[in-house]
Amino acid sequence: MIDTIVNSGFLFAVKTFLLVLLSLFVVFSAIVVRQVQLMNNVLTVPVSGGFKFISFALLVFAIGVFLVALVTL
């Protein structure tokens, strides 16, 4: 059954779909980093650095998931 699915190109379609979605998610995460920078400019609070760190961590995570997908799929 799985062989049939692989031969039919289903997995290739899923892989392409996932990679496109993940690349869009990387772009979205980069926008979130910029958004948090803008928000920190508007309102500066003692925890501003923490928000910046989390947004960067999210971007790194998004890039990491994209690379994992690229290597393992």
Partner 1 sequence: MSPSLQQFLNKQDPGGTFSSLCILPKATQCEALESGEKIVMLLRRHIATNLWWILLAFFLIFVPLFLPLLPVISLLPANYLFVLILFWYALVIAFAFEQFVMWFFSVNIVTDDRVIDVDFYGLLFKHVSVADLDKIEDVNYFQKGVLGSFFNFGDVLIQTAAEITEFVFEEAPNPDRVTKILSELIQEEKKEKMKGQIT
Short-list 1, 5, 28, 30, CA closest to 15: 5
Contact pick of 11, 16, 20, 53 for partner 1 (by CB under 8 A)? 11
For the CB of residue 42, give the shortest distance to partner 1 in the complex, in Å.
Answer: 5
Asked if 3 interacts with partner 1 (CB under 8 A), we say no
* Residue 73 near residue 15 (C-beta atoms within 8 A): yes
d(CA 25, CA 63): 9
**Cα(38)–Cα(49) distance, rounded to whole angstroms?**
13
- 20: contact with partner 1 by CB under 8 A: no
Rule CB under 8 A: say whether 67 interacts with partner 1: no
Q: Does 46 bind partner 1 (CB under 8 A)?
A: yes
Q: Is 32 one of the binding residues for partner 1 (CB under 8 A)? A: yes
